[in-house]
Each structure stands twice: as structure tokens, then as C-alpha cells.
């Protein structure tokens, strides 16, 4: 005969143990949060030291009459009022926009064409890839040295070629109206390889089945380019366009080394004017004010490019 068990049923966790089990996830979460802060701290320190602090210090300097030789006092928005009335600011800003206009479109189109040529399977692809991208690897001093020799009025390659054809030489870097075009030519030759690389990577990500389906539907080579390839490159084209606009608006090196802003200031970009104002005329406060005005212009142009695409997404 089996006697009924008198052992009590297992009880639930003790109140103290239940409390510990509820607190443990909270502690683990806090420990994880602290670890996240510890990992992010080096970046935050570097970000604050090299971006936030210089931006704030520059904004404060733009409100003072600080010079390179001595600190200055607070003058409010006096530097900004002077900058808006300064014809040199508007002239150099226009010349910066002009350089951006005549270089952005050729750089985008040339990068696309070079990428399409390589992607179509030309023989000796390694040679074409190296040739198209090699110039981008050259430092600006080497690029301007090569082209300064080619632009020489008497013994330069371009004028010598014109002379052999019975044509008159051109003042490539000394003639107003031509100097800016010459610098644009140098910039296109130098930097088109970067856009070529971005387009080539985007082309290689297009599924081959799309092109095969278009071919089966009777689409020719040009039809495949304009109806299949170009629409799928819309995203990378937007990125290249923004990057190119920002790079062209910040032009300084090649102009300074080739013409130093001449002849008669016809190629002087606004960054060179800011440099001259701050480090040649010693007016750091005024140079800072012009810098922030130019920063606002770049910010507006960038937002104008991105806002339409965000509206389409919504």
C-alpha cells in the first residue's frame, strides 16, 4: 500500500532572490551603457578638440577685431557688415562659383564616360584603369609643375604646337579670360580619375540580368546605356555631384601655385582672399567673418541638393 506523499510542493523563489533577479538586468544594462560611453569617449574628445572648439573659437574671433599680432576687442557684427559691403568678397565669391560651374559638369560626365569605356570590356583594361586613375594620385605640386611647363608662353608644349601649325601663341596663365579656363583644364585632368573610380564600382554592381533582359527585348547599346545603366547610376551620380561641388568650391592649391590669383585677380578664389586677409593683412577677425559667410553659402548649396531627394523618399 502506497502512502500519499506529505512532501510540500516546491515553493517559488524567495522574495530576496526575486529582487536580485530583477535588479541584475538593470545593472547589466548600466554596465553596457558605461562601456559604450568609454568606447565613444576618445572620439568625443577628438571631435570636441579638433572640430567643436575651433568652430566656436572661430565664431568668437569673427565678432572681434583680432589681428595676427594682438588680440582684439568685441565689435559685434561689424566684420560681417564690412564683408557684405566689400566688393572683393563678391568678386572672389563669383570667381569661385565660376570655377565650380566650368569644372563640375565636365568632371562628372568625363568620369562616367571613362567608366563606361572600361566597363564595356576594352582590351587591356588594366592599362585603361591605371591611365585614367594615375593622375589623381599625383600631388598638387607635381601637377601644377607639369602644366606650368606646358603653359609656358615661349617654350611650352601647347604654344610650341600652335606655332608649328602656324597659329599665334596664347597666354594660358597670363591672359584674363583664359587663365581660369586653363586652371579648369588642369583640375579636370587631375581629378577626373576619382569620379571614374566611383562610377566603375557602381557599374559593376548592376546585375547582368538587367542588361541581358534589355538585350533580349531588342535594346541596342545606346538604348541600354540611357534606359538601363544611367537610371541605376542616379544615386552615385548624386553623391559625385555633391562631392564635386564641395571640392570645387574649396579650390585653392592649384590656383595659388599656377597664377597666385592673377592676372589682375581674375582667378582669385575666395579662399585665397581669406588667406591674404588673415595672414598677409593680419586681420584674423575679418578673415574669420568671411570664412563663416562662405561656410553658410556652402551649407545652403548642400541642403539645396539633398532636400529634393528627401522629399521624393517621403
**What is the crossing angle of helices 87-119 and 284-313, to 10°?**
40
Q: Does the pLDDT value for residue 21 go beyond 90?
A: no
- Give the three cell numbers for residue 208: 547582368
Say what percent of the chain tops pLDDT 70.
Answer: 87
Tens digits of residue pLDDT in 282-314: 999 999 999 999 999 988 888 887 666 665 655
> Whose CA is closest to 240, among 190, 272, 201?
201
Question: Do residues 136 and 189 lie in contact, with contact meaning Cβ atoms separated by under 8 Å?
Answer: no
How confident is the model over 227-246, as a mean pLDDT? 89
Tens digits of residue pLDDT in 261-281: 889 889 999 999 999 999 998
Tens digits of residue pLDDT in 207-217: 888 888 888 88
CA distances from 164 to 146, 157, 178, 182, 302 (A): 21, 11, 21, 21, 47
Tell me what pLDDT residue 309 has.
61
Say what percent of the chain tops pLDDT 90.
Answer: 49
Tell me what pLDDT residue 24 has.
64
Amino acid at each position: 500500500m502506497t502512502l500519499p506523499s506529505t512532501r510540500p510542493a516546491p515553493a517559488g523563489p524567495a522574495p530576496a532572490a526575486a529582487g536580485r533577479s530583477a535588479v541584475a538586468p538593470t545593472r547589466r544594462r548600466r554596465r553596457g551603457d558605461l562601456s559604450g560611453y568609454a568606447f565613444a569617449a576618445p572620439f568625443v574628445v577628438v571631435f570636441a578638440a579638433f572640430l567643436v572648439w575651433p568652430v566656436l573659437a572661430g565664431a568668437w574671433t569673427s565678432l572681434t577685431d583680432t589681428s595676427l599680432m594682438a588680440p582684439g576687442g568685441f565689435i559685434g557684427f561689424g566684420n560681417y557688415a564690412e564683408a557684405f559691403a566689400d566688393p572683393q568678397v563678391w568678386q572672389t565669391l563669383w570667381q569661385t562659383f565660376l570655377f565650380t560651374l566650368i569644372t563640375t559638369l565636365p568632371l562628372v560626365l568625363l568620369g562616367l564616360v571613362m567608366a563606361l569605356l572600361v566597363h564595356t570590356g576594352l582590351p587591356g583594361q588594366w592599362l585603361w584603369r591605371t591611365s585614367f586613375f594615375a593622375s589623381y594620385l599625383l600631388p598638387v605640386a607635381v601637377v601644377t609643375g607639369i602644366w606650368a611647363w606646358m603653359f609656358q608662353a615661349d617654350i611650352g608644349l601647347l604654344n610650341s604646337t600652335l606655332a608649328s601649325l602656324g597659329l599665334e601663341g596664347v597666354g594660358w596663365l597670363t591672359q584674363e579670360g583664359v587663365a581660369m579656363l586653363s586652371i579648369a583644364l588642369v583640375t579636370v585632368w587631375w581629378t577626373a580619375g576619382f569620379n571614374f573610380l566611383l562610377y566603375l564600382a557602381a557599374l559593376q554592381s548592376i546585375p547582368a540580368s538587367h542588361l541581358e533582359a534589355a538585350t533580349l527585348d531588342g535594346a541596342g547599346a545606346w538604348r541600354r546605356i540611357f534606359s538601363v545603366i544611367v537610371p541605376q547610376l542616379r544615386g552615385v551620380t548624386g553623391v559625385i555631384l555633391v562631392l564635386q561641388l564641395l571640392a570645387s568650391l574649396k579650390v585653392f592649391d592649384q590656383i595659388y601655385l599656377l597664377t597666385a590669383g592673377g592676372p589682375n585677380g581674375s582667378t582669385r578664389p575666395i579662399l585665397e582672399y581669406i588667406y591674404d586677409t588673415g595672414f598677409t593683412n593680419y586681420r584674423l577677425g575679418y578673415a574669420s567673418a568671411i570664412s563663416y559667410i562662405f561656410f553658410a553659402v556652402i551649407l545652403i548649396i548642400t541642403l539645396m541638393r539633398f532636400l529634393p531627394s528627401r522629399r521624393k523618399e517621403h
